[in-house]
Amino acid sequence: MMNREPRRNIILCGFMATGKTSVGKRLAEIARYRFLDLDAAIEEEAGVSIPQIFSSQGESAFRKLESLMVERVAEKTECVIATGGGTIVNPQNLEMLKRCGIVVALTADIPTILLRVGSGDDRPMLQGNRLERIQALMDLRAPAYAQADLIVDTSALSVDEVAQLILDRLREFGFH
Ligand code: S3P
């Protein structure tokens, strides 16, 4: 079991398709923490899928729900929390998450992201020309991701490798 101090959760943020959910599940298994997925919590609260929230109520309604869920998960301890790609773009969300845990940003290069998102239409933020959308959002969001406590490039690594790398690096933050 990991030491609880000084911060009690591991929070994964970063762009879409950088591996937040799969790495988060693996990390939780290894650390014996609970795994929480912010997007899943949003869908549960709304009773509909994220694409449905975007199409019926718009992005701003989604962002409000997202911030509400950040407030809720910030109360937890000993959890690995996977956030959505846009969560820490809101500085208040980032601040709240930093207070309740170590914030780890996962990154990946654009060809890797393109490959991983595939052609599915389950990502409302990537409507239209996918490459252009990814590039534009990456540029916009890079300053937010750079504020994470730890940044890990997942492009060339397996889920297990990323999880292990994070655990090794977390020792610097007092996790044992
Ligand atoms: C979003 C990313 C999605 C989800 C929503 C908005 C974003 O999560 O929260 O579609 O703004 O980047 P993933 O990063 O898990 O795909």
**pTM of the complete model:** 0.94
Going from the first residue of the chain to its last (176 residues), give the mean pLDDT of each consecutive group of 10, the final group possibly shorter.
Answer: 63 98 97 96 97 97 98 95 98 97 97 92 92 97 97 98 96 78
Around Cβ 163, how many Cβ atoms within 10 Å?
Answer: 24
CA 68 to CA 56: how far, in whole Å?
19
Name 168's Cβ contacts closer than 8 Å, sequence gap at least 6.
none
175 CA to middle of ligand 1, Å?
28
CA 145 to CA 143: how far, in whole Å?
6
Q: Which of 93, 125, 135, 140 to mutate to test the pocket of ligand 1 (most atoms within 8 A of CB)?
A: 125
Query: In ligand 1, which atom is closest to the CA atom of 122?
Result: 10
